[in-house]
Amino acid sequence: LNEEKLMNQILENNFSSKNLNKKNKNTSHLSKTYKSIFIFSIIIIIICIIIYLSLRYNSYKKEKISKSLIDNFNITTLYANNNNYIANRTTNNSEEPFVIGLLKIDKINLMYPILSTSSEELLEISPCRFYGPMPNEVGNLCIAGHNYASKKHFGKLTSLNEKDLIKIYDLSGNFIDYIIYKIQEVPANDTSCISQNTNNIKEVSLITCNTIKGTRIVIKAKENR
């Protein structure tokens, strides 16, 4: 009887030992899995932070260029009527764009230089003339700008309403107030907004994209007489 009890105890101890070893192995495996997931998550977070900071830095650089162009524009207009001064309408860096005017909308606290031509690179710096005449000349001056989620550039245009005012400065330092008379959303391939048939009046069209719908938002304004 004693031998039988001893045998049962040995068997129970072996069984318990096997279960304990199995449990320890499972725990160790889970621990390694959680550790791998944790390390992977940390790496992903670090990569996201680096990308975010890089985008912020690039945005800061573009805004800095835009502000320097506004300063250059202000100097140009300040001396525009001085016959002894030859206006330098570009910055010292020959790669930087040509500024033809200034766009200002007080309601949404927007002020940017208007660049003479549009390209993907220039649009990242400031709104650009997409089509039409020089600022404050007869015709339809079409200005394109990016619709950034950060509300930079044309990101706040959707806050405008009809009868709001858009101010355009030309290179002589003169400005004209344009009153908004139409706000519309059109297909991306609709080019009717750049028509120059304005009946001999001065107009401005602000054009940006609706990235969600793949359409374009167009704000039409005419000289406020």
Three-state secondary structure of the chain: CHHHHHHHHHHHHHHHHHHHHHHHHHHHHHHHHHHHHHHHHHHHHHHHHHHHHHHHHHHHHHHHHHHHHHHHHHHHHHCCCCCCCCCCCCCCCCCCCCEEEEEEEHHHCEEEEEECCCCHHHHCCCCEEEECCCCCCCEEEEEECCECCCCCECCCHHHCCCCCEEEEECCCCCEEEEEEEEEEEEECCCCHHHCCCCCCCEEEEEEEEECCCCEEEEEEEEECC
Phi, psi (deg, nearest 5) at residue 145: -155, 155
Q: Assign 184 a pLDDT band (cuts: 50, 70, 90).
A: very high
What pLDDT sits at residue 37? Answer: 79
Residue 131 CB coordination number (10 Å)? 18
Distance CA 181, CA 206 (A): 12
Q: Which residues pair with 217 in a beta bridge?
A: 185, 208
Q: Which residues of 182-205 are buried (b: 16+ CB within 10 A; e: fewer)?
A: ebeeeeeeeeebbeeebeeebbbb
> Whole-angstrom distance between the N-terminal and C-terminal Cα of the chain?
117
User: pLDDT digit string (tens) for 41-61?
Assistant: 777 887 777 776 666 666 666
Lowest model confidence (mean pLDDT) among 52-56, 84-88, 127-131, 204-208: 84-88
What pLDDT sits at residue 94? Answer: 41
Q: Which amino acid is at 126?
A: S
User: pLDDT digit string (tens) for 121-165?
Assistant: 888 888 999 899 999 999 999 999 988 888 888 999 999 999 999
Q: Which residues pair with 163 in a beta bridge?
A: none
What separation in angstroms does the CA of 32 have from each of 26, 29, 37, 192?
10, 5, 9, 62
